Amino acid sequence: MVEHGVLWAEHQDPYGHVMHTQFMHFLGACFYRVMESYDEYLSKEECDGMIQATTVIPAVRKYELSIRKPVTYPDAVIAAFRQDYIEPTRNNGTTVLFSLKQQTIVAEVKGSTTYMDIKTARPVDIRTLGGRWPILYEAFTQKSERANALKDKWEKEHPKPTREAVSKI
């Protein structure tokens, strides 16, 4: 998780709302935290190779940003990442932006990264790499299972209210 204060001079558009480009800036810091967490599983050399882009890197494959509500100054937002699932060549997750002022999720991004071999510029199956990459794969598989179990539990305990479809005609 990463907390960001909304700045009056830097983050607003002429109408007083946080600019859409700032949403990705806020969420991006959380992506980097996930990459920093790799050092828990990889050796120093493997981590340095990833950070310096000399071996295998997680490259952004795609993402979809959903802005749910406008954010205005003064406010602070918290970005948090949830591991959705990992594939041998990809890592998938959801990052949300929570407004402390509004007490709700104001934006969500779903996306994935592809593990790329710098030398070949091709996706690589991290389970087949030497070193501690298979350990990283197993750890993120377990994180995914835990995160999805907690998400399912939360959704059962806090069901979304159903909206009645009433025609206005």
Model confidence pLDDT, tens digit, residues 52-96:
999 999 999 999 999 999 999 899 999 999 999 999 999 999 999
Q: How open is the CA angle 122-128-134, to the nearest 5 degrees?
A: 115
Q: What is the pTM of this model?
A: 0.82
Give pLDDT tens digits for 93-115.
999 999 999 999 999 999 999 99
User: What is the reported pLDDT for 46?
Assistant: 93
- Residue 94 C-alpha from the chain's centroid: 5
- The structural domains of the chain, ordered by start, are 2-155 (3.10.129.10)
The CA-based dihedral angle spanning residues 97, 78, 141, 135, taken in that order and rounded to the nearest 10 degrees: 140
Higher local confidence (pLDDT), 132 or 162:
132
Q: What share of the chain is helix, strand, coil (3-state, %, to 5)?
A: 35, 35, 35
Residues 134, 61: Cα–Cα separation, whole Å: 21
Residues whose CB falls within 8 Å of the CB of residue 132, separated by 6 or more in sequence, listed in order:
41, 42, 43, 46
- Residue 97 C-alpha from the chain's centroid: 10
CB 78 within 8 A of CB 98: yes
Residues 76, 78: Cα–Cα separation, whole Å: 7
Residues 106, 73: Cα–Cα separation, whole Å: 14
User: What is the reported pLDDT for 71?
Assistant: 93
